[in-house]
Structure 1
Amino acid sequence: MIKKALITIAVFTGFIIVGTAGYGYYLYNSIAETVAGIHEPMERDFQTSKRSIEVSIEKNDPLSFLLLGVDATNLERGRSDTIVVITVNPNTNSMLMLSLPRDTRTNIIGKGYEDKINHAYAFGGAKMSVETVENFLDIPIDHFISVNMDSFKEIVDALGGVTVENPFEFYDGGYHFQSGTIHLDGPAALTYSRMRYQDPRGDHGRNDRQRQIIAAMINEGVQLSTLAKVTKILNSIETNVRTDLTFDQMKKIHANYKAVIGNQETLAINGSGKIINGIWYYLVSEEEKNRLSMALKKHLEIE
C-alpha cells in the first residue's frame, strides 16, 4: 500500500522547506534515515525560555520556526545571513513569515553585548541564534532549521525549479530576470534571492525575494509526486540541512499543519541604518519590536 509522508524542512535563505511524498517501505525508511542524520537536538530550559511548557503538535498548538541560511560549508559556524521567523497556526490555517535583516543590532544572548544578529550563529550555533531571536522579538522559537546557503540550490533543482513573481526587471550574476512570472533553477534562484544593490529597497527587497523562494519551495514540495525527485531531495538535504525536528514530529506536522501552506502572509520590519564605531548596523526601535512581537504573539495565541 502506498503511503504519503511529508518532510517539512525549511530553509534558506533562510530559505527552506522540503515537502516529500513517501512511496512504500523503501522510501519511508530512506526518509527516516535521512532525518536521523540531520537531526541536531537542542536542549531548552523551559524555566528561562519564552515558554513554560513545550507546545504540543498532537493538540494542534500554534508553532514557531527559525530558518537560518548559513554561509559556511557543511554548516560549520559561519554567519546566518538569512534569518526568517515563521509562525504557523492550524486553528486559522495561516502562516506568518518575518525576515530579520542580518545587520540588525541586538543583544547576543550568551555573549553579553550587542552585535549584528547574524553573528549569533557564528558564536554559538543554532541554539544561540534561537535564544537571541527569542530575546529580540520576545516570542518563543519552538524549532529551528538551518541550511547551507550555497547548497540550497541543489534542493531547488531537485524540486524541478521554482516559480516566482518578479516585481521588476534586473540583471545580476549573468542572469536576466524579467518582470512578471519567472521560473528559476537552483543557481538562478540563489542569485535572485541574494540581489540587493540594484533594489531601491536594499535588504528589504532582498528579504522579500527570499520569502518568495521559501514560499515557492513549500508549494513545489507539497506537489512532489515522483520517486526520482524525492530521492534527489533526500540526497541533497542529508549534508546541507540540520534541524531539531524528529521524523515523528515531521510526520505529525504534516498531518496536522499542512493546510497552513495555502495561506501565507508576511510581516515587514522597519528600521534605519547607522554607523557605530565604524560598523554599519540596522537599528530597530523598541516600538517597532513591540509591534512585531504583538503580531507574532497573537498568531501564536500567546496572551
Structure 2
Amino acid sequence: MRRRWPWAVLLLVALGGAGGYLYSEKQETGEIARAVWQELPGKGDPEEAQAEPLFQDLKPEKLGAAEATQQPPAPARQPEPAEAPTAAPPVPQPSEKTTAEPKQTATKAPATPTPPPVRTANAAVPASTPTPRSTEAPPAAPEPKPATKEEVKAAQPTPASPPVSAAPKPTPAPAQETATDTRPAPSPAAPAPPPAARTTGQDDGGSMRPNPFSNNVHVLLIANDQEKIGEGRADSIMLVTLNPDRKVATLLSIPRDTRVAIPGHGMDKVNHAYRFGGAALLNRTLQRFLGFPFQYYAEISYGGFRNMIDQVGGVDVEVPFSFDYEGYHFEKGPMHLDGKTALAYSRMRKLDPRGAFGREDRHQQIVRALMERLADIPVGDTVRMNAFARELIPYVRTDLGPRKIVTLRRAHPYADKPPVKLNVRGHGQMMNGIYYYIVNDAERRRLHLALR
C-alpha cells in the first residue's frame, strides 16, 4: 500500500494541472468573446426601417389589409339572382317545342307557379299577343287560368319566331351559376401561405431585430479609412444577405458617395453618417434607405482588415488588369495577396477605368475570398479561433457573439460558397461643387424587393 501513494499523488497533480489548464483556456475564451462582442447602441426599430413613405405600400400588414378589403365587395354581386326570376318566366317556352319537355318545366314549377297552367292550354289567340310576353309574365300570377289558355294557343301558330327571340332571353339563367361561384370563392385562403413560410427566430440567430418580410438575415459590413476603429469615414460599405429559402448569399456594395437622408443631418453622402454617429447612425440610415431592418453588423478598420487576411494565410483573387499602386505591382490574372497587398489592391480607384465601381468589385472580390478562407476554420478549433480573435480585438466591433456566429453557420451552411454580387444602380451628379451618386426611388424599391 505504501508504494501506491506516490503514484496516487502524481495522478492527482496531473489531473489538477489538466483541470487548471482547461479552466484557464475556458476563461481566456470567455474574455476574448466578451471583448469582441459589443452590442450596437441604438439597435433600431424594425418599424422605423419601414417609416420611409416610399415603402408604405410594401408593408406586410398593409398588403394583407388591402387584400382583405378587396374580398368583401364580392358578395355584393349576389343581389343579381333577384333579377333572374324576372327573366325566368319565359322559360315555359320549351313546352312549345315538344311535349316531352314539359316534364322538365314541371320540376321548375315550385319556383314559379305560372308554368303549370301553360301545359294544359291549347286555345288560339291572335298573333299580336305573343310580342308582349315579357310584360305578361307579371300579371300571369293573378290570372293564371283564363289568360294562359289564350296566350299559349297564340304561341303555337308562331313557334319559329318567338323561340328565336326568346332563346337569348333565358341566357340570364347562367347568372345563377355565377352567383353560386362567387359564394365559395377561395380567395380568402390566398393570404394564408405567406405566414406559413415564416420561421422567425430560427435563421437569424436570436436577433433582436427580426425581419418582418421573410427569413432572410442581413449583416452590414463597415470598413473605415483609418487604422483604428471608430475613426474617419466609412470607406467600404457592404450588406450580406443570407437567404435560407433559396440557399444563396448576396453581397450588395453601397457606393460611399450615395446621397441619402441621414437622420438628424439631412441629405448627405452615406459615408458621412459614419463620421457623424458611427456604426449606429450608419446602420439606421441604410435601414431607412432600403426599407428593412438589419439583424447584425461588423465594423473593421484598415488595420483589422490587413491582420484578418494575414491570419487566414492570405487570399486568392483574379486581377482584372495590370497596374502599380503604393509600391506594389499587380499582374493581370490570378494572384495570392497578403494583408498589405490586399489592402492596396482594394483601395486603388483612379487607375481603374471604372473608377469607384471597379474598386467596389475588388472589395467584393476580397470579401468573397476571405469568406472562403474563414470557412476553412473549424468552429470547434478553439485554439485557432482564440488566436484569430486575439489579433482582431483592437480592430473589430460587432454585435455577433460567438454563439450567434456558430448558430448562423449551422443555419446557413451555403454561406461558405461565393456570394452573388449585386450593385446599386444610379448616376453621378455635381451639386454645389460636390459629387454625389444619385439613386432614384425605383432603384430603392428594386433593392428592397430583391433583398428584404
**TM-score of the aligned structures, taking structure 1 as reference length:** 0.82
SS in structure 2 opposite 1:204?
helix
Matches within 5 A, 1:270-281: 270-281=425-436
**Residue 192 (structure 2) pairs with residue 39 (structure 1):** no
**Distance in 2, Cα, partners of 1:67 & 1:59:** 16
- Counterpart in 2 of 1:246? 401
**Distance in 2, Cα, partners of 1:29 & 1:257:** 29
SS in structure 2 opposite 1:82?
strand
- Counterpart in 2 of 1:17? none
Residues 84 and 98 of structure 1 are in contact (CA less than 8 Å); yes or no, is this contact kept in structure 2?
A: yes
Supply the AA of the counterpart residue of 2:292.
Answer: I
Matches within 5 A, 1:107-122: 107-111=261-265, 113-122=266-275
**Distance in 2, Cα, partners of 1:121 & 1:167:** 30
- Counterpart in 2 of 1:48? 48
- Counterpart in 1 of 2:362? 209
Question: Which is further off, 261-270 or 226-235?
Answer: 226-235
**1:39 Cα deviation after fit:** 2.0
Question: Which is further off, 26-35 or 178-187?
Answer: 26-35
Question: Which is further off, 166-175 or 188-197?
Answer: 166-175
**1:73 Cα deviation after fit:** 4.0
Structure 1: state its 5+ residue gaps. Answer: 1-23, 298-303
- Counterpart in 1 of 2:4? none
Matches within 5 A, 1:158-197: 158-197=311-350
Higher strand share: 1
**Distance in 2, Cα, partners of 1:83 & 1:144:** 11
Supply the AA of the counterpart residue of 1:108.
Answer: I
Deviations 1:210-231 (A, max 9, x none): 0111111111111136877545
* CA-based RMSD: 2.6
Do the aligned partners of residues 169 and 28 (structure 1) sit closer, same or farther apart at CA in structure 2, a change above 3 Å counting?
A: farther
**Residue 303 (structure 2) pairs with residue 150 (structure 1):** yes
Supply the AA of the counterpart residue of 2:416.
Answer: I
Do the aligned partners of residues 255 and 287 (structure 1) sit closer, same or farther apart at CA in structure 2, a change above 3 Å counting?
A: same
Higher RCO (CA-CA < 8 Å; seq separation 6+) = 1
Structure 2: state its 5+ residue gaps. Answer: 1-21, 51-58, 61-198, 206-214
Matches within 5 A, 1:1-303: 30-42=28-40, 43-50=43-50, 55-57=200-202, 61-111=215-265, 113-224=266-377, 230-297=385-452
Dislocated runs of 4+, deviation >3 Å: 24-32, 49-52, 57-61, 225-232
**TM-score of the aligned structures, taking structure 2 as reference length:** 0.56
**Distance in 2, Cα, partners of 1:94 & 1:120:** 30
Larger radius of gyration: 2
Deviations 1:95-114 (A, max 9, x none): 00111111111101232x00
SS in structure 2 opposite 1:188?
helix
**Distance in 1, Cα, partners of 2:371 & 2:30:** 20
Q: Percent identity?
A: 34
Residues 304 and 396 of structure 2 are in contact (CA less than 8 Å); yes or no, is this contact kept in structure 1?
A: no
Higher helix share: 2
